[in-house]
Amino acid sequence: MATTIANLALVASAGGDPAKPVFFDIITLDLKADYDAAGLLLFKTACLAALGAGKTPIAVTPVNARGLKTRYDSVNDTLFFDWSDLNAGADGPDIVVPTGDMAVYTGLKLLVISQ
């Protein structure tokens, strides 16, 4: 039996306008122990020097993030790191990495899609 989709809608589209090209950049970063559930605030500002002026991140995905998963909230310019939480609790399979556990994560490699 085939799986059906209840709802499918285009949320964002990029690259169709030559005046607004899409960029794919790979960055590396080291995190500090003070990373917490609030995420990495002002991600765009933090990586402007590496990405180049005028680029606005629209998505971030791990290339080699040592098992961490990423979520980029472009509205609030915040990058979150999640990891698997296998305790079968009500919080679900992935949770934000707890405060104090991030200092060991150095050299994370991320793909930043920007426009």
Over residues 62-80, the pLDDT tens digits come to 998 888 889 899 889 999 8
pLDDT in tens, 5-60: 777 777 777 777 777 788 899 999 887 777 777 888 888 888 888 888 788 898 99
Contact 81, 96 (CB under 8 A): yes
Exposed, middle or buried by CB within 10 Å (0-12, 13-18, 19+), for 113? middle
Contact 28, 66 (CB under 8 A): no
Q: How confident is the model at residue 61 (pLDDT cuts 50, 70, 90)?
A: very high
State residue 91's pLDDT score: 58
Residue carrying structure tokens 């990373």: 35
Rounded to the nearest integer, the mean pLDDT of the chain is 80
